[in-house]
């Protein structure tokens, strides 16, 4: 069932149920109040009859039940209430004096004891009556003083009220039905628009939005959330398209950069084979082949590491960070010196669980980027310090720095701040993205601080360490 009909039927059912309960409580309350008044009046009549009988017994204490009945009958005829329906009956229910009962239900007679008074609603041939009985003792004989009142008009009035209420409820349901149709349409219309917009969005049209009215309810909030979701989805799709274009550009660049050195390598190899008698030419060719081969190796290795790293499967080892960072620094010290760069190492002791080869990739990439940022002589600081809950690796250089607007994107895959310079130095934009992924797999954080013209600092924070102090 559609939401529109659910709302419509729910409002009708709630209205019908509420009105039914209200009408029942109102009519039944009026009926009970009227019945209570009739019972009170019947009880008062019974009390009057009992008082009259008691007075007759005081006048003639020795009279028997039949004499008492005769005296009561005479007293009632002489009284002010000659129309009361009453009788005085024996213990067996035989009427001694009074009117003939218009009903046959005498269960109340046997249910009372001496000096008790009881009430019962009984049904006669054509009417309902309130039957009131008092148990009286007349010189050792038990007699029943009975009177009754016809309450059939009350039941007829209640039935008429119920019929009128049913007619009134029918009119109300028609009115409420019209209102329910309007309200259901008002509530369901924006939801139908949302459904249609969702179908269009699923079909690929990411520009579809719903009109947001001034409604502050859940439907209005849902419309706002839908538009926000559509905006986010559109931005993400644009980002995916941008990444796809970046990857495509990378593949084209990679193919271009491998084609040129391969051609040169093949050419120099042929030259070496044909000029083995020229040491200078052999040395020059060998250096070029070695240099271009290493550049291709770096590109292939970074790409392979990126693909393999997506599997997120590696084993951890407990590493002493002071010795670990010193070993890394020793490995890059000689190339740094050849470039005129001074590498400073300040590493505190501390135990950290990590994957040594992957974290070494992070440190080597950060040191390599730091070296590339220094155009002439400069300094690089590799620093390690203990933290209360881990260990921090810091790489600070005195290079040219990174503009603030670029800091937020330097860890994106295939992104390069200076594309021409990075390509000339063998870069492909994978280094920092790879570093960020490795650090995240270790549960750590990677952050940057930089100022153009002064240098850059990179901080790798790893958790779960302990000191050796």
How many of the other CB atoms lie within 10 Å of CB of 396? Answer: 19
Write down the H helix ranges in 203-278: 218-274
Q: pLDDT band for position 303 (50/70/90)?
A: low
Q: Does domain 207-311 have CATH number 1.10.287.130?
A: yes
Average pLDDT over residues 23-29: 91
Residue with tokens 């990174």: 402
Q: What's the residue count for the chain?
A: 469
Query: 211 vs 310, which has greater pLDDT?
Result: 211
- For 170, the token pair is 């029918």
Alpha carbon distance 434, 445 (integer Å):
13
Q: pLDDT band for position 282 (50/70/90)?
A: confident
Q: Report pLDDT digits (tens) over 1-22.
A: 677 788 788 888 888 888 888 8
Query: 304 vs 260, which has greater pLDDT?
Result: 304
How many of the other CB atoms lie within 10 Å of CB of 411? Answer: 17
Strand (E) or helix (H) holding 16:
helix 3-59
Alpha carbon distance 230, 234 (integer Å):
6
Percent share of the chain, pLDDT over 70: 79
> What is the pLDDT at residue 427?
43
Domains of the chain, residue spans: 3-156, 207-311, 312-463
3-state SS, residue 408: coil
Alpha carbon distance 84, 145 (integer Å):
13
For the chain, the average pLDDT equals 79
Weakest-pLDDT range from 60-74, 102-116, 243-257, 320-334? 243-257
Alpha carbon distance 289, 276 (integer Å):
15
Residue with tokens 């003939």: 100
Which residue, among 298, 350, 354, 353, has the nearest Cα to 326 in the 3D structure?
Answer: 350
Q: pLDDT band for position 469 (50/70/90)?
A: very low
| CATH number at 3-156 | 3.30.450.20
Give the HSE-up count for residue 51: Cα atoms under 13 Å, Cβ half-sphere. 7
36-45, 190-199, 256-265, 358-367: which is most confident: 36-45
Q: Is the Cβ–Cβ distance between 172 and 181 less than 8 Å?
A: no
Contacts 24+ apart (CB under 8 A), 309-317: 309/358, 309/434, 309/437, 309/438, 309/441, 312/441, 314/355, 314/358, 314/441, 315/355, 316/353, 316/354, 316/355, 317/353, 317/354, 317/355, 317/356
Query: 232 vs 65, which has greater pLDDT?
Result: 232
Alpha carbon distance 334, 343 (integer Å):
10
Average pLDDT over residues 366-377: 85
- For 199, the token pair is 């179908």
Q: Report pLDDT digits (tens) over 434-458.
A: 788 888 888 899 998 888 888 899 9
> What is the pLDDT at residue 34?
94
Q: Report pLDDT digits (tens) over 397-417.
A: 988 888 877 776 676 644 444
Average pLDDT over residues 230-257: 70
Would the pLDDT of 426 be above 50? no
Q: pLDDT band for position 130 (50/70/90)?
A: very high
Q: Report pLDDT digits (tens) over 318-353.
A: 999 999 999 888 877 877 887 889 999 999 999 999
Q: pLDDT band for position 250 (50/70/90)?
A: low
Whole-structure pTM value? 0.43
Query: 221 vs 145, which has greater pLDDT?
Result: 145
Domain 312-463: which CATH number of 3.40.50.2300, 3.90.1280.20, 3.30.565.10, 3.20.20.70: 3.30.565.10
- For 247, the token pair is 């990857």
For strand 317-320 and strand 351-354, is the pairing parallel, antiparallel, or unpaired? antiparallel
Would the pLDDT of 312 be above 70? no
Q: Is the Cβ–Cβ distance between 207 and 234 less than 8 Å?
A: yes
Would the pLDDT of 68 be above 50? yes
Average pLDDT over residues 130-156: 90
Q: Report pLDDT digits (tens) over 210-230.
A: 776 666 667 777 777 777 888
DSSP letter string, 127-186: -EEEEEEEEEEETTEEEEEEEEEE-HHHHHHHHHHHHHHHHHHHHHHHHHHHHHHHHHHH
> What is the pLDDT at residue 186?
77
Query: 427 vs 235, which has greater pLDDT?
Result: 235
Average pLDDT over residues 309-313: 55
């Amino acid at each position: 069932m559609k939401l529109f009909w659910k709302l419509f039927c729910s409002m009708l059912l709630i209205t019908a149920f509420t009105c039914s309960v209200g009408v029942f409580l109102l009519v039944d309350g009026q009926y009970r109040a009227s019945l209570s008044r009739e019972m009170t009046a019947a009880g008062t009549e019974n009390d009057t009859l009992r008082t009259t009988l008691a007075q007759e017994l005081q006048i003639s204490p020795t009279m028997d039940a039949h004499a008492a009945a005769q005296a009561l009958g005479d007293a009632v005829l002489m009284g002010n209430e000659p129309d009361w329906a009453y009788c005085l009956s024996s213990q067996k229910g035989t009427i001694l004096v009074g009117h003939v009962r218009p009903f046959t239900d005498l269960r109340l007679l046997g249910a009372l004891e001496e000096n008790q008074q009881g009430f019962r609603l009984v049904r006669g041939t054509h009417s309902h009556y309130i039957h009131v009985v008092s148990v009286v003792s007349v010189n050792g004989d038990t007699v029943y003083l009975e009177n009754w009142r016809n309450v059939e008009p009350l039941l007829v009035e209640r039935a008429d009220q119920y019929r009128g209420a049913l007619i009134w409820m029918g009119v109300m349901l028609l009115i409420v039905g019209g209102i329910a149709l309007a309200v259901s349409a008002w509530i369901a219309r924006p939801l139908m628009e949302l459904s249609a917009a969702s179908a269009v969005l699923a079909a690929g049209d990411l520009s579809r939005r719903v009109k947001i009215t001034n409604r502050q309810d859940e439907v209005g909030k849902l419309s706002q959330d839908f538009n926000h979701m559509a905006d986010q989805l559109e931005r993400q799709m644009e980002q995916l398209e941008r990444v796809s274009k970046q990857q495509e550009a990378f593949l084209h660049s990679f193919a271009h950069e491998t084609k040129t050195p391969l051609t040169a390598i093949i050419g120099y190899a042929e030259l070496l084979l044909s000029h083995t008698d020229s040491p200078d030419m052999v040395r020059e060719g060998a250096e070029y082949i070695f240099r271009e081969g290493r550049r291709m190796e770096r590109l292939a290795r970074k790409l392979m590491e990126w693909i393999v790293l997506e599997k997120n499967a590696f084993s951890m080892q407990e590493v002493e960070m002071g010795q670990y960072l010193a070993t890394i620094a020793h490995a890059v010290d000689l190339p740094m010196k050849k470039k005129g760069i001074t590498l400073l190492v300040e590493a505190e002791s501390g135990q950290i669980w990590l994957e040594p080869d992957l974290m070494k990739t992070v440190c080597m990439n950060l040191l390599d980027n730091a070296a590339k940022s220094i155009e002439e002589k400069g300094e690089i600081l590799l620093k390690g310090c203990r933290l209360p809950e881990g260990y921090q690796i810091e790489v600070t250089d005195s290079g040219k720095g990174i503009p603030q607007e670029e800091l937020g994107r330097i860890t994106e895959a295939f992104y390069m701040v200076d594309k021409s310079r990075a390509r000339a130095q063998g870069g492909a934009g994978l280094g920092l993205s790879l570093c960020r992924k490795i650090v995240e797999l270790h549960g750590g954080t990677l952050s940057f601080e930089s100022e153009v013209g002064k240098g850059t600092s990179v901080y790798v924070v790893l958790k779960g360490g302990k000191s050796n102090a």
